[in-house]
Structure 1
Amino acid sequence: MPKVSEAKIAILSTHGFEQSELEVPLQKLKDAGAEVHVISPDGEDIKGWDQKDWGRSVAVDKPIRQALASDYDALVLPGGQMNPDLLRVEEEALEFIKSFYDGGKTVAAICHAPWLLAEIGVVEGRKMTSYKSIKTDMINAGAEWEDSAVVADNGIVTSRNPGDLDAFVAKIIEEIEEGTHAREAA
């Protein structure tokens, strides 16, 4: 079984990510020994949203065009309302996410980020959670939505909100250490 301390993890994000939903997993996964890269559509630094106003910028390691899912063991998708809504219209971002899914790799999405999983068509029949305002979107996309802090279904980890970050990161680590996941097509 792989160890998280030997893992390479990508965090895909753009402007408007919920500050803690990127920064906390980034730091906790690094603290666990993983190599973590922040990836954005254009490779430029991205600015977070911190509860009610713009927050801090986060340095980006590379643009999506230079990132390959085959170089990583897992993908983390921070939420916030703006970030996933902007990413779900970016074809390169959707292809990148889908390549992780198709490769059986851990894909973790928090808050509004499960929208991205619905957009690539992989939620049907899967147990998932999300921020409550997109519950209906997830159900309409075919997810078996539940009101839980964190839900894992065959390497797909979803979480409700920033209050659940410790459990979210712990489940990401557990799923990475399980290795690749054989998935049936949605």
Structure 2
Amino acid sequence: MATDTPLASRRILIMATDGFEQSELEVPLERLQDAGADVDIASLESGDITGWDKDDWGDDIEVDLRIADARVDDYDALVLPGGQINPDLLRVEKQAIELIQGFAKAGKPVAAICHAPWLLVEAGLAKGRRMTSYKSIRTDVANAGANVLDEAVVIDGNIITSRCPDDLPLFCDAIVDALAKAHAPAE
């Protein structure tokens, strides 16, 4: 494999539903695939989900599997795109929250951007952590016990958070770096 594919043989799960922020799913998907990873999209139901693109509905993306069928052991990391609608719908779904908790418990990277830290709050993963989020939910994240920072990317153990689409390059870099380090060969 070429050296520009640091994530060859890595499997990443992106969990989303209708109303995901278009760029926050598509940019990590493309970047992780370009780095050599196999990326699956999990949602509540089979079929397509529709993104939200700035101020209106965006494009559809095909779902690879239902959240109910996703298994932590099959993946190396979990990516949670934001948007206001997507995480708000997912945070009331028991199977979605249990999947996030499973990735965290396994020590695998869990990356959440924009409004997706709501999912980390719901999963009980915010207390005592350094995190960031979109500005409108920072109070929610702080009230859940996180130390909220206004930085492009905040990494606390296996939890990676970012604020908004402007942070996507650094967010994606952090995911790639976390996976490369987690699977670096022993010397």
Normalised by the shorter chain, which TM-score bucket?
Answer: over 0.9
Find the counterpart in structure 1 of residue 3 from structure 2.
Answer: none
Deviation at 1:6, TM superposition (A): 2.0
Matched residue, 1:106 = 109
**Structure 1 match to 2:71:** 68
Partner of 1:90: 93
Q: Tell me, in whole angstroms, the C-alpha distance in 1 between the residues paired with 2:167 and 2:59.
A: 21
1:57 positional shift: 0.3
5 Å matches for 1:3-22? 3-22=6-25
- Contact 1:44–1:63 (CA<8 Å) still a contact in 2? no
TM-score normalised by structure 1 residue count: 0.94
1:21 counterpart letter in structure 2: E
Q: How does 1:1-186 map to 2 (within 5 A)?
A: 3-179=6-182
Q: Any idea what the Cα deviations from partners look like across 1:121-180, whole Å, max 9, x if unmatched?
A: 111111100000000000000011000001111111000000110100000011112228
Can you list the C-alpha shifts for 1:22-80, whole angstroms capped at 9, x where unaligned?
00000000000000000001122100000000000011111112210110000000000
Partner AA of 1:143 in structure 2: A
Equivalent pairs, count? 178
| Separation (CA, whole Å) in 2 of partners of 1:61 and 1:117 | 23
SS in 1 for 2:59: strand
- Displacement, 1:88? 0.2
CA apart distance, 1:5: 1.9
Asked if structure 2 preserves the Cα contact closer than 8 Å seen for 1:43 and 1:64, the reply is no
Deviations 1:100-121 (A, max 9, x none): 0010000000000000000011
Secondary structure of the 1:56 match is strand
Q: Return the offset for 1:4.
A: 1.8
Q: 1:4 is paired with a residue of what secondary structure?
A: coil
Q: Which residue does 1:184 correspond to in 2?
A: none
SS in 1 for 2:92: coil
Give the match's secondary structure for 1:89: coil
| C-alpha separation in 1, matches of 2:26 and 2:106 | 26
